[in-house]
Structure 1
Amino acid sequence: MLDVPATDQKSFADGKILKKITDGVGIVTFNSPEKRNAMSLEMWEGVGRALTELREDDHVRVVILTGAGDKAFMSGADISQFEKNRHNAQASEEYNRKSEAQRAVLAHFPKPTIACIRGFCLGGGMQVAMSADMRFASDNSQFGIPAGKLGIAYSYDGLKHLVSLVGPSQARLLMYTGMRIDSAEALRIGLLDRVIADGKLWDETLEVARTISGNAPLSIKASKLTIAQVLKDKDERDMAAIKEISTACMDSEDFREGRQAFMEKRKPNFKGR
């Protein structure tokens, strides 16, 4: 990731999780390049804290998740911690309980999220990327879930995301073989939304994020909420929530600003209310 001028910077987990804000865009960086950004429990806790702060900051309208260095977005869980924290079912359950709350912050994040992927995106890294709203990757990235090679069961949430993106047959192929695929194949099967030349990845990702940041926050929130409801079974959909956010949009200052800006042929100045 390139250095970006930031209006706010903060670190968590002894510097292994970094948070920046620039032009309404929050940036969370997995910063352990010596381990290809493998996630420890402490890093999960740091991610949860960083995302919570970005969620509560009204100046932040979209979040990019990325990895430090040019080798990996995230190579998965930190296997060096397995003997201590995940050596059997009971220990693994406790580890999952502690990390689940942090994963839930991302899974239920109310603002748009983009995974900016360079290099390896494996195992738990895939789960993080699939939890984002969009996935952009460099043309030299690699993807895979080696659960079958480690003797572990991949999580329900991770498999749910995988199946929803690539379908059950491709999910079976990836899970049964533990194979790695390149960016072109990941794009073909629906795992990725865009593949971008390595040297242009960050700039193009940031450009999309800034475009989102410049749009009406309530409208974006309505889109994210409604798409999430569409993906649920009919009996589980919260139609009242959809109606409520739709009404809020139509009664908002931003809707009036959007109409006025259109008539005056100028760029709107949305405030999220």
Structure 2
Amino acid sequence: MSDHLTIERDGSVATLTLNRADSHNAISLGMYRELPDLVAGVDADPGVKVLVVRGAGERAFASGADISEFQEVRGDAASAKAYNEHVAAAEHALESFSKPTVAMIHGYCIGGGFGLALACDLRFGDERSRFAITPAKLGLVYSLESTKRLVDLVGPARTKWVLYSGQQIRAERALALGVLDELYDAAELEEQTYEFCRLVTTRAQFSVRAAKQIVGRITNGQVEDDEHTTHLRNSSFDTDDYAEGVRAFLAKRSPEFTWS
């Protein structure tokens, strides 16, 4: 693991930090390359129930891809193809993470940083948050998968506004559009984000992860149950956590779930 991506764990909550505060956490090709294996390792850890993604320092989640290296690593169509594949793999690693993911956003969340945030399940920010996707300022084309994630959140017309203009979106507007799921004062963002994550760790994890799978299938066009979703629902009745949930409800106490 490089110094530019770090993983820390506090109980059942892990934190992936984009750790280049001196460059507003600009995402290098090396970071994109490293991220999938790093995330896969966290996903495989049965002790982790939620992943928070954040930027180091106080000024940015991530200011975007590291444009200073573009001439070297994205200088023509061939090198750009390889570069784009690494970006897609990094975003897919977050999107396909089997457990809940929360992007904690303060300051700039631009370009590639916005792409990583869109790949997370939820986005919590503070009033300093600023969002933009800027291919139109660089003569580039945003990927279909990344565009779809934005369309799923804000709709096609607003996605066009974002991509056509490349303009920054302030935090209050991001909340109204649905880019942000929660908006907090700067002093409260970290506390509130981790409080929510700790709450999720107390819920039945089979239920939480099944919900993530089913929502993902719906956003990809599935409208009726199939064998997989039916099995998910029916098999939940055979889990120890279902029995514990019923016992706890009847006893009027908090459940102690054990499935992980």
Question: How would you bin the TM-score normalised by the shorter chain?
Answer: over 0.9
User: 2:243 corresponds to which letter in structure 1?
Assistant: R
Give the match for residue 73 of structure 2: 85
List per-residue Cα deviations over 1:189-218 (Å, max 9, x = no partner).
Answer: 111111100010000000000000110110
List per-residue Cα deviations over 1:108-132 (Å, max 9, x = no partner).
Answer: 1111110100000000111111111
User: 2:252 corresponds to which letter in structure 1?
Assistant: K
1:101 pairs with 2:72: no
List per-residue Cα deviations over 1:221-264 (Å, max 9, x = no partner).
Answer: 111111112222247x7721111211221110111111112222
Q: 2: CA distance between counterparts of 1:184 and 1:146?
A: 20
Give runs of aligned pairs for residues 10-49 of structure 1, distance below 5 A. 12-13=1-2, 15-49=3-37
Counterpart secondary structure, 1:38: coil
Give the match for residue 127 of structure 2: 139
User: 1:53 corresponds to which letter in structure 2?
Assistant: G
TM-score where L is the length of structure 2: 0.96
1:253 pairs with 2:240: yes
Counterpart secondary structure, 1:109: coil
Q: 1: CA distance between counterparts of 2:33 and 2:160?
A: 31
Contact 1:144/1:180 (<8 A) preserved? yes
Give the match for residue 39 of structure 2: 51
Contact 1:76/1:125 (<8 A) preserved? yes
Q: 1: CA distance between counterparts of 2:228 and 2:170?
A: 39
Counterpart secondary structure, 1:111: coil
Give the match for residue 126 of structure 1: 114
Counterpart secondary structure, 2:172: helix
Worse overlay, 256-265 or 110-119: 256-265
1:264 pairs with 2:236: no
How far is 1:163 from its partner? 1.0
Where do 5+ consecutive residues of structure 1 fail to align?
A: 1-11
Contact 1:229/1:238 (<8 A) preserved? no
User: 1:259 corresponds to which letter in structure 2?
Assistant: V
Q: 2: CA distance between counterparts of 1:87 and 1:248?
A: 51
Counterpart secondary structure, 2:187: helix
TM-score where L is the length of structure 1: 0.91
**Total equivalences in the alignment:** 260
Where do 5+ consecutive residues of structure 2 fail to align?
A: none
Give runs of aligned pairs for residues 69-218 of structure 1, distance below 5 A. 69-218=57-206
Describe the shift of the 1:33–1:225 C-alpha distance in structure 2 as closer, same or farther (beyond 3 A).
same
Counterpart secondary structure, 2:228: helix
How far is 1:23 from its partner? 2.2
